[in-house]
């Protein structure tokens, strides 16, 4: 079953990198949505035109950063159930703990290998079964011969 993922990051290069990394894993993600900060992401999500199955967000962004974005999202009953994965270099235990308490589902430290992202997505998208997420191991979720 294909899934629609939203990538929130102020760096277009990082958004492209995350998108490409997900494609490399071979997971059936479709229709990537992108936003350059939390405010843009919320506006898009609240427009309700397209459903989003999972959000990957940066922390440090202008206008509305990842932490405030997460806070607002979890306060909105229409959006609170969407799993949010924080993708950042800011990985002190204190920071990660605060984000998880705010409702983040998981945390991926930059830089990350495709397998790490595949592992997190497979855990959070339960309708992806063994067909989408092959057996665990060093090549989890990664198609043979795929490369960045």
Residues in touch with Mg ion (CB under 5 A): 10, 58, 60
Cβ-based nearer residue to Mg ion, 58 or 67: 58
Please, are residues 33 and 6 in contact by the beta-carbon 8 Å criterion?
yes
Q: How far apart are CB 9 and Mg ion at their closest, in Å?
A: 6
| CB nearer to Mg ion: pick between 9 and 115 | 9
Residue nearer to Mg ion on the CB measure, 53 or 58: 58
Distance (Å, rounded) from C-alpha 32 to C-alpha 110?
20
- With CA atoms as reference, report the closest residue to 57 among 74, 47, 48, 128: 74
Task: Characterize the bridge pairing of strands 106-109 and 29-35.
Answer: unpaired
Task: Kindly state the smallest distance separating residue 23's Cβ from Mg ion, in Å.
Answer: 21
Other beta carbons within 10 Å of 101? 8
Nearest distance from residue 13's CB to Mg ion, in Å? 11
Q: Shortest gap between Cβ of 46 and Mg ion (angstroms)?
A: 22
CA 30, CA 38: separation in Å to the nearest integer? Answer: 21
Q: How far apart are CA 32 and CA 123, in angstroms?
A: 19
Complex with Mg ion: residue 58 or 119, whichever CB lies closer: 58
């Amino acid at each position: 079953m294909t899934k629609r993922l939203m990538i929130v990051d102020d760096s277009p290069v990082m958004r492209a990198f995350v998108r490409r990394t997900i494609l490399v894993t071979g997971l059936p993600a479709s229709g990537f949505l992108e936003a350059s900060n939390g405010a843009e992401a919320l506006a898009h999500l609240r427009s309700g035109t397209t459903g989003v199955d999972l959000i990957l967000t940066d922390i440090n962004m202008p206008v509305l950063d990842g932490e405030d974005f997460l806070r607002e999202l979890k306060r909105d009953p229409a959006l609170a159930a969407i799993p949010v994965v924080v993708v950042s270099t800011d990985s002190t235990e204190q920071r990660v703990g605060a984000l998880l308490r705010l409702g983040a589902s998981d945390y991926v430290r930059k830089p990350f290998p495709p397998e790490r992202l595949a592992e997190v997505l497979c855990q959070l998208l339960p309708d992806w079964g063994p067909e989408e997420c092959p057996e665990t191991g060093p090549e989890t979720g990664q198609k043979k011969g795929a490369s960045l």
